[in-house]
């Protein structure tokens, strides 16, 4: 049995962060019902590098976090659509939404209104800046939050900055934090019997991603500065090799001692981190010279054998080809494709395993409104009533 079997989640989110939060719980057994407006599906459905998939509303950005979900269409701006949602809420455990703060309250679908229908409901609102505060009404995406939070200013080199991340890391960190918050609220409900309101902000998550930098600044007044591939310690930085780059991770004193011994220069090991900082330039100059003697793969293999963290700098396609990932089950592959997706593809699953009842993919990402009739029938709507809702463009 998986942790969230028997839990029903209404997923009224779009793009990446919100859908990823619901996806993580779906992998762990939750029954997730994705709600999209008819004629205006989640914008991630037409996002990705494959135009054909985008046109089919099965873009790769959607595929990433669409598995294990059922999909319905529902116009929440119409009273009939709101009535359907309220019926869903009556039997649900969680509702997740990531629209502009105040939008659901304006529709009469806010926390107070829906918790009156179901006092055990966990209502999660995910937004750029939170539901209140001076910026509460503002909107943003991952890259805008990177700009706002200081992450871009600390990324890049001293000469070239600010630079945004190459991946939408804040979106996925927000989704992961959302899954954590939902899990905490569900566990709390087991003890209290009460529902919960979760207010999750992308900006707050971005600050959590810089937690050590935040604390360092508040304690010393020194802000993080862009340093490229260099670290305060020379033994903890990237270097050119015969054929590429290798990232050294000799971070602590024991590791730097092992590194210098492995390189045949044990006299370079330092007794304190202050000594390492003082000798950084000299150490970097020596490592620049030594690292050119082997290929990046050779250095990785050799240094790892000496218990020194080190890795060749890889492209993503190389990382995905690593047999180690297959042993971890990090990616689920849909061989032969899925409805709406003619080609084979794979999606990330979860970043952990459990001894039993762990995360797994059971069903492919759904097409727009694929399960509308089945879900409405489960709520007690007759075939004629469903046909009338469809004729009225409510679904």
Q: Which two tokens stand for residue 220?
A: 């010393």
Cβ 142 vs Cβ 168: under 8 Å: yes
Residue 209, CB-side half-sphere exposure with 13 Å CA sphere = 26
State the catalytic residue, choosing from 11, 171, 281, 297: 171
Distance CA 372, CA 374 (A): 6
DSSP E strand boundaries for the chain: 8-12, 31-36, 69-73, 94-97, 122-127, 196-201, 238-240, 245-248, 310-312, 331-334, 345-348
- Is residue 297 among the annotated active site residues? no
Residues 6+ apart with CB under 8 A from 370: 70, 71, 339
Q: Which two tokens stand for residue 90?
A: 């009556």
Cα separations (Å) of 206 from 61, 93, 151, 176?
21, 28, 8, 12
Residues recorded for the chain? 395
Radius of gyration for the chain, computed over Cα atoms and rounded to the nearest angstrom: 25
Q: How far apart are the first and last CA of the chain?
A: 34
Q: Which two tokens stand for residue 170?
A: 């804040």
Q: Which two tokens stand for residue 204?
A: 């707050």
DSSP 50-85: -HHHHHTT--HHHHHTTTTEEEEE--TTSHHHHHHH
Distance CA 13, CA 45 (A): 12
Residue entry with tokens 């998939």:
53
Distance CA 177, CA 173 (A): 6
Active-site residues, by number, are 171
């Amino acid at each position: 049995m998986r942790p969230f079997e028997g839990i029903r989640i209404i997923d009224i989110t779009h793009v990446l962060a919100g859908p990823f939060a619901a996806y993580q719980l779906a992998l762990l057994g939750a029954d997730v019902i994705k709600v999209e407006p008819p004629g205006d599906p989640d914008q991630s459905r037409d996002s990705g590098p494959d135009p054909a998939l985008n046109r089919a509303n099965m873009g790769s950005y959607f595929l990433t976090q669409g598995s294990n979900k059922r999909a319905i269409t529902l116009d929440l701006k119409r009273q009939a659509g709101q009535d359907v949602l309220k019926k869903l809420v009556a039997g649900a455990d969680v509702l997740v939404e990531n629209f502009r703060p105040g939008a659901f309250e304006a529709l009469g679908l806010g926390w107070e209104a829906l918790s009156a229908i179901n006092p055990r409901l966990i209502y999660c609102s995910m937004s750029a800046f939170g539901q209140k505060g001076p910026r509460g009404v503002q909107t943003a995406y991952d890259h805008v939050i990177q700009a706002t939070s200081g992450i871009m200013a600390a990324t890049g080199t001293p000469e070239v900055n600010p630079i945004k991340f190459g991946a939408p890391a804040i979106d996925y960190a927000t989704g992961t934090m959302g899954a954590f918050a939902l899990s905490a609220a569900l566990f709390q409900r087991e003890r209290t019997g009460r529902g919960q309101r979760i207010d999750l902000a992308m900006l707050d998550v971005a600050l959590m991603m810089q937690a050590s930098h935040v604390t360092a600044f508040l304690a010393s007044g020194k802000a993080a500065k862009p340093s490229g591939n260099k670290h305060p310690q020379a033994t903890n930085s990237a270097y050119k090799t015969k054929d590429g780059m290798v990232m050294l991770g000799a971070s602590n004193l024991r590791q730097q001692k092992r590194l210098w011994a492995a390189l045949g220069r044990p006299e370079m090991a330092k007794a304190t981190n202050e000594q390492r900082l003082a000798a950084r330039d000299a150490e970097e100059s020596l490592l620049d010279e030594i690292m050119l003697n082997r290929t990046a793969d050779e250095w990785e293999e050799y240094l790892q054998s000496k218990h020194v963290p080190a890795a060749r700098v890889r492209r993503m396609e190389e990382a995905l080809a690593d047999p180690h990932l297959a042993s971890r089950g990090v990616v689920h592959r849909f061989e032969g494709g899925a409805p709406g997706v003619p080609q084979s593809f794979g999606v990330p699953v979860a970043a952990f395993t459990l001894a039993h009842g762990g995360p797994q993919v059971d069903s492919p990402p759904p097409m727009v409104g694929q399960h509308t009739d089945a879900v409405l029938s489960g709520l007690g709507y007759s075939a004629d009533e469903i046909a009338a809702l469809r004729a009225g463009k409510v679904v």
